[in-house]
Amino acid sequence: MLSTTTPEQLRAVKAHNDALMALSQIAFSGVERLTALNLNVARAALEDGLTASNSLLQVKGVNELKQLHNPFIGPATDKATAYFRSVQEITAESQEQISRVLKSYFAILGMGAAANAGWSAGFDMLDKIARQTNSMVEANIKAVGDTTAKMAAATSPHPRKAA
């Protein structure tokens, strides 16, 4: 027995394939952006490490050694903060693109309002989790910066009290 394909079935298959291709492109784009970001961060870390190593080789005394870490602490914390913000931006943009594709996909299939409400609730939850994660990361970065500043203060020379 031969089965015939209805125009509705063909539209559904096309919509499915289009949505799958769009989601694949979004995923690959996100991976490419994250890879480029990670390569840039790794390159900068290697350059900073080389600069720090060269600075260590030029130290001639204990006082110079105690003052050496100060120029590296602030920029490292700033770079870590910028990295996490960039990751969050890439994630948020990908999430927004995925949401648009899925809304369009469900609208084509005639499942617009109910499906969109379900996906919106799911994405709202993911957005809330992403924001909470970002807040925790920022708090951790601040804690690392504070701890590093305290360590730097502890190693800096203190004025001696007169006897």
For residue 160, tell me if it sits in a domain. no
Q: Is the pLDDT of residue 91 over 60?
A: yes
Domain that holds residue 142: 9-155
> What per-residue confidence (pLDDT) applies to 107?
76
Whether the CA torsion 41, 43, 49, 55 is positive or negative: it is negative
Give the number of domains in the chain: 1
In this prediction, residue 123 has a pLDDT band, given cuts at 50, 70 and 90, of: low
Cα–Cα nearest to 34, from 91, 79, 99, 81: 91
Establish if 60 belongs to a structural domain.
Answer: yes
Spatial distance between the Cα atoms of 146 and 127, rounded to a whole number of angstroms: 28
- Determine, yes or no, domain membership for 3: no
Q: Per-residue pLDDT for 116 more than 60?
A: no
Query: Is residue 36 in a domain?
Result: yes
Predicted local confidence at residue 162, as pLDDT: 44
Residue 69 lies in a domain: yes
Q: Please report the pLDDT score of residue 4 as a whole number.
A: 80
- In angstroms, the CA 108 to CA 24 distance is 19
- Whether 163 maps to a domain, the answer reads no
The residue with tokens 């080789």 is: 57
Arithmetic mean of pLDDT, 53-59: 81
pTM (2 d.p.): 0.60
Share of the chain above pLDDT 90, in %: 14
Please report which confidence band the pLDDT of residue 145 belongs to, taking 50, 70 and 90 as the band edges.
low
Residue 44 lies in a domain: yes
| Local confidence band at 163 (pLDDT 50, 70, 90 cut-offs) | very low
Overall average pLDDT of the 40-63 stretch: 85
Task: Pick the closest to residue 82 from 40, 53, 119 (CA basis).
Answer: 40
